[in-house]
Structure 1
Amino acid sequence: MVCCDALAIPLCLLISMVLRLGGPAQVSSYGYWPYLLITAITVIVFHLSGLYRAVIRFIDKHLLIKSGLALAAVTLVTYLTAALFNDQRLPRTALMIYWFITFTYVVCSRMLARDFLRTHTGLLRRNKRNIAIFGAGEHGAQLALSMRASEKYQPLCFFDDKHIFKHHTVAGLKVYSSARVAEIIEEKSIQLIVLAIPHASRQRRRQVMSMLSETGCQVKMLSSLVELSDDKVSAQAIREVKIEDLLGRDMVPPQEDLFAQCVRGRQVLVTGAGGSIGSELCRQIAALHPTRLCLLDHSEYALFMIEQELRVRFPDLALTPYLGSVCDAPLVERILRENQIGTIYHAAAYKHVPLVESNVIEGIRNNVIGAQVIAAAAAKYQVPTCVLISSDKAVRPTNIMGASKRIAELIFQAAALQSTTTTFCMVRFGNVLGSSGSVVPYFQAQIANGGPITITHPDITRYFMLIPEAAQLVMQAGSMARGGEVFVLDMGEPIRIIDLARTMIGLVGLTEKNAEFPDNEIEIKYIGLRPGEKLYEELLIGGESQPSEHPRIMVTTEYALEPAVLAQLLNTLSQACATLDEQRVKDVVRDIVPEYAPQAAVSSPAAPPAPSDDAPQRETVPMVA
């Protein structure tokens, strides 16, 4: 760089002198000393500004501007000095022209050298991926500019439907309407589309992803500014589509005053602490400074993992893990007695419908007897708050898992009717994205293996929420509870599982294989509804709800059994489990939960089927509102 500048700077001064004096003849009278002096001064200035310490391949505009300002300062000082002493040996206005020409030379030479070196040293690979950017706003423009120095990406165009971008270019790239996505992808051989709309609602992003997935082009996201370390957008901010991007609605934020009310300053017990919901509950509780956090789980591995994570993340947290089952009444009572528990979050349960359906007795024992033990111990030791984590499958259940969760709700409702010292409540929500056994990781694994994706029915729908949302709902419900309520999150519209699968196929750049397109990559197979599985899930039995203190959480008080009647039925159920008679267990379950209708698994469960005239009539169970 020094050698090039030593040759070019005298030429820059010569051009400046010719432009100022009008021709070579006038210039020759000044001799060669001005060229040597100016070159020496300029090289020294460039050295002091750091220009010669820069690696050309990574030089940026900030260093060039700094060098230009330093050169301008020297030129200005020289001009003022000559004017002050009325020195006529060099035309002073030629110095101004010299600065402009020299700065232009510095910028152009470094940019050309940078592009040349990047091209010929592998920094800009020839196999860069052709990409399009969806969203031609500020973030999309910054992303396109940063990608020109990227090793991976070559931006070719924008897609945006805003009227202000119509027939315009942004960052040197043409903006197209989203209606032409398929056409432009084929025309320009686009391999990847990046969504640069970080401030759009999650519903809008999901609509865009669904539309783009039909093109068969891979889709990635630009991180939101919250996820970025600063306000600059770079190619490194491109990420894979996350599970929460598929939710189709914005996450429901917690209310801080409700969030910590049952946790801060209390000793808290979480059952099922190693599970998907239980472990997230532990993380959020630990951040709110409880006096002590007690963990109970019957899985040694799950309990070990969450304990180690919490000890690393919260070294000052008083933490006590207990290995055992919620069905072990002496163990549960010892935990409450030794720790003076102030809040219980009962998350321990078997939740996988097919597994519980094929292991009826164990499912009933864990889900029903576990709830019975927790409710009885909480009342005995006067625990202020006890929250049951239930499921939407408890509403008009068509499987044993859902029925067991409804019985657990009835147990807590009966406990609420009898207790004056413990506030019992229930939280009911739908499928949790990203939890163990969740449909999204299941589909991801099937896509990674080349398919097929297996779906039970083309019309099946589900409500979805995120694990943090589920944990926050549970914690806020305990703060709002007065006794016996069921809290339900406003989860928006249910999502068709087939639409979710097709979106996930498209997001990884693959296409659905079917009779019309037999050469595509991923096939979707329908395997039929599994035993006890519904087409549609519901959140309310009675269909009516009231607003709560949180605008997105609904509350309802549903029918309950008389505590004495429920106790007698539960005793009968326990005896049936002891005899290992599955049919007898199912009969007793139907006595406790009249709306339990396993035959409804093959049709819409909008309402329980009406009994026929020939069907045996069961005795009506006394209920209370």
Structure 2
Amino acid sequence: MTRRVLSFILIDLISSFMSLLISFIVIEKTFPNIKDLLFYSGYCVLFLFIFRMYIFVSRHLRVRAFFYSALSSIFASISYYFYPKTSIRVLFTSALMFFCILLFTRIMPFLIRRNNKKKRLKNILIYGAGEAGIMIAKEIIKDRSTNTEVIGFVDDDERLWGNYIEGLRVYGGREIIENTYIRYDIDEVLVALPSAHAKEIEEIRAFLKEKSVKARNLPAESELVDGSVSYKEAREFSIDDVLRKEPHPRDLVALGALIGGKKVLITGAGGSIGSELSRQVLLFNPKRLLVAGHGENSIYLLKNELKSYENFDSLLMDIQDYEKVEKVIEEFKPDIIFHAAAHKHVPLMEENPDEGVKNNIFGSFNVFEIAGKNRVSRLIFISTDKAVNPKSVMGATKRVAEKMMIAFSEKFPDTIYASVRFGNVIGSRGSVFPLFKKQIKEGGPLTLTHPEVERFFMSIPEAVQLTMEAACLGKGGEVFILDMGEPVKILDIAEKMIRLSGMEPGKDINIKITGLRDGEKLTEELFYGKEVRINTRNKKIFIAKHTKVPIEFIETVEKEFVGINMLSDDDIRKRLRSLVEE
């Protein structure tokens, strides 16, 4: 029973009590027995229950509220008629007064809000009467600042049809949406199915579009970091929704033990993965979180976003600066380091291979070595699927860093080193998603390098969740692989994004093929051929069992790139190829 229902019950008890009391005083000129008044109040509330007045939301069911309020008042008065010394005039007057109060408490708030021309209420229908839909309905009912009225639910589960949840009716399945939309003057359908898979969401989106129904959608469960949903998170249907994956439960106990009360350092915190790591780590109450990044604007924005956390600090740091990295780690004394700093843009690294080596290899070397020297308990390195059989400079530098991580695990056994390898994340800076959005906004064309190019995709929150869970599993030297599902053709993504914008590919917006870029592969891989896939207790995380990398590999890398500024781009590529050969 909700607080709102209890409030109505209390109001009804008081109003029925006062109705009979006033009727007796005015008509009979006597003061009735308090016990009789309490009996009468109880009868009134009983009949309100019988006529389901505490289930109906009267602001939507105005005629029904009027009818059942009258019946409740009449039956309560008739039942009280059998008590001695009670005249019909008293009962009639008390029933009329109680009826008027009922109408006032149920109908008037609605009419006042409706007549407020400055704030016209938006009527919404919630698609999904499950836990998420109920949470949204409760939020809107409680928070009047949303300026929104929930008319009811629709749900594909036939067992719910005709039932009332939180006083709101489940009208039926999706087939009744069109009629309900018109009948109740619905402004918007809110799809509250965060655990639904991509195919179901795409079917619902297409159905609503066919019926010309305006709709918004809640993010996937994997994007709801703390597990709670809010009406404020509702958004237009996006590519994230049609690429979402099956949700999986988080090991909250293990994550709490890993992070709770610990000092955590995140490098590359201004990037897509690093910033999301920062948000999620704070949810598990670390003793201190220090975020570090080279880009001043991204760190400034992250600092402003998270400044309300008292256990949060930020600083500017270039991982290529050995002395600065050493100073930070020695002074902060982190228990865990998430090393997410990297140059990741494939075309830029093809044009500037020396910078790729300096940052992704030398910078990682600095973090790996200083962490080991200072006996940091755990270091997690963020890798990429482009490190598998790399064709690009960026992929090769990440593979060299992976191998260095394995070697450092042998060199410093007191520190648990582990790498997490995954594919593209949806919406990261420099990915195809913001590019396609921009091109659609400009009217096209959407540029695509090859019609057969395909990539693995995962949402940023999900990738970070699994990275943190992989950190719990590390024992030393592992390369963890995240389950990315099946690869998706970029051409399919381009076409879906055009349709999500309400247009048709080839008709409203064209797609232009530009040809593969240097370092680009048609498809990416998650495992080397020689690597053995090993399951973990988390079905979304695997271990790539690899050959041992000797400690001497670290020295070999250093020697290869001595005087890197004097090396030609081709020479750098040649030396990278020699280091990644399996």
Aligned residue number for residue 317 of structure 2: 324
Aligned residue number for residue 539 of structure 1: 526
2:290 to 271, 291, 294: 294
Please give the alpha-carbon distance, in whole angstroms, between the structure 2 residues aligned to 1:112 and 1:364: 70
1:283 to 256, 265, 279: 279
Please give the alpha-carbon distance, in whole angstroms, between the structure 2 residues aligned to 1:362 and 1:415: 23
Aligned residue number for residue 569 of structure 2: 582
Please give the alpha-carbon distance, in whole angstroms, between the structure 1 residues aligned to 2:304 and 2:108: 53
Aligned residue number for residue 74 of structure 2: 72
Structure 1 unmatched ranges of 5 or more? 1-36, 39-48, 50-56, 595-622
- TM-score, structure 1 as length reference: 0.66
- Could you tell me whether the CA contact under 8 Å between 1:262 and 1:385 is conserved in 2? no
Please give the alpha-carbon distance, in whole angstroms, between the structure 2 residues aligned to 1:350 and 1:360: 10
Deviation at 1:490, TM superposition (A): 1.4
Do structure 1's residue 425 and structure 2's residue 418 form an aligned pair? yes
Deviation at 1:191, TM superposition (A): 12
- TM-score, structure 2 as length reference: 0.70
1:572 to 551, 560, 564: 560
Q: Percent of aligned positions with the same letter in both sequences?
A: 32
Q: Closer, same or farther in 2 for the Cα pair 1:207/1:267, shift >3 Å? A: same
Aligned residue number for residue 31 of structure 2: none
Aligned residue number for residue 309 of structure 2: 314
- Could you tell me whether the CA contact under 8 Å between 1:460 and 1:536 is conserved in 2? yes
Q: Deviation per CA, 1:432-489: give whole Å up to 9, x if none.
A: 1232223333333333333333332222222222222222333333332222110111
Greater displacement, 237-246 / 209-218: 209-218
Greater displacement, 349-358 / 291-300: 291-300
Deviation at 1:339, TM superposition (A): 2.4
- Could you tell me whether the CA contact under 8 Å between 1:268 and 1:294 is conserved in 2? yes
Please give the alpha-carbon distance, in whole angstroms, between the structure 2 residues aligned to 1:211 and 1:67: 42
Q: Secondary structure at the match of 2:578?
A: helix
Please give the alpha-carbon distance, in whole angstroms, between the structure 2 residues aligned to 1:569 and 1:381: 22
Aligned residue number for residue 412 of structure 1: 405
Please give the alpha-carbon distance, in whole angstroms, between the structure 1 residues aligned to 2:553 and 2:414: 22
Please give the alpha-carbon distance, in whole angstroms, between the structure 1 residues aligned to 2:462 and 2:213: 31
Aligned residue number for residue 458 of structure 2: 465
Q: Closer, same or farther in 2 for the Cα pair 1:491/1:122, shift >3 Å? A: same
- Could you tell me whether the CA contact under 8 Å between 1:158 and 1:176 is conserved in 2? no
Q: Closer, same or farther in 2 for the Cα pair 1:365/1:192, shift >3 Å? A: farther
Do structure 1's residue 201 and structure 2's residue 196 form an aligned pair? yes
Larger Rg: 1
Q: Closer, same or farther in 2 for the Cα pair 1:99/1:124, shift >3 Å? A: farther
- Could you tell me whether the CA contact under 8 Å between 2:195 and 2:246 is conserved in 1? no
2:368 to 361, 365, 375: 375
- Could you tell me whether the CA contact under 8 Å between 2:199 and 2:242 is conserved in 1? no
Do structure 1's residue 511 and structure 2's residue 503 form an aligned pair? yes
Aligned residue number for residue 613 of structure 1: none
Q: Kindly provide the amino acid, as one letter, of the partner of residue 445 in structure 2.
A: P
Greater displacement, 357-366 / 278-287: 278-287
Q: Closer, same or farther in 2 for the Cα pair 1:118/1:472, shift >3 Å? A: closer
Equivalent runs, 1:188-587 vs 2, <5 Å: 194=189, 196=191, 198=193, 201-208=196-203, 211-212=206-207, 215=210, 219-221=215-217, 239-241=235-237, 244-310=240-306, 312-317=307-312, 319=313, 321-508=314-501, 510-514=502-506, 518=507, 520=508, 522-542=509-529, 544-575=532-563, 577-587=564-574
Please give the alpha-carbon distance, in whole angstroms, between the structure 1 residues aligned to 2:75 and 2:208: 56
Structure 2 unmatched ranges of 5 or more? 1-25, 28-43, 45-57, 141-145, 162-167
Q: Closer, same or farther in 2 for the Cα pair 1:405/1:433, shift >3 Å? A: same
Q: Closer, same or farther in 2 for the Cα pair 1:209/1:458, shift >3 Å? A: farther
- Could you tell me whether the CA contact under 8 Å between 2:404 and 2:553 is conserved in 1? no
Please give the alpha-carbon distance, in whole angstroms, between the structure 2 residues aligned to 1:238 and 1:65: 36
Deviation at 1:344, TM superposition (A): 1.6
Q: Secondary structure at the match of 1:270?
A: strand
What is the RMSD of the two structures over their aligned residues, measured on CA atoms?
5.2
Please give the alpha-carbon distance, in whole angstroms, between the structure 1 residues aligned to 2:337 and 2:456: 26
Q: Kindly provide the amino acid, as one letter, of the partner of residue 562 in structure 1.
A: P
Q: Which has the higher contact order (CA 8 A, sep 6+)?
A: 1
- Could you tell me whether the CA contact under 8 Å between 1:505 and 1:512 is conserved in 2? yes
Aligned length: 516
Q: Closer, same or farther in 2 for the Cα pair 1:504/1:129, shift >3 Å? A: farther
Q: Kindly provide the amino acid, as one letter, of the partner of residue 279 in structure 2.
A: R
Deviation at 1:585, TM superposition (A): 0.3
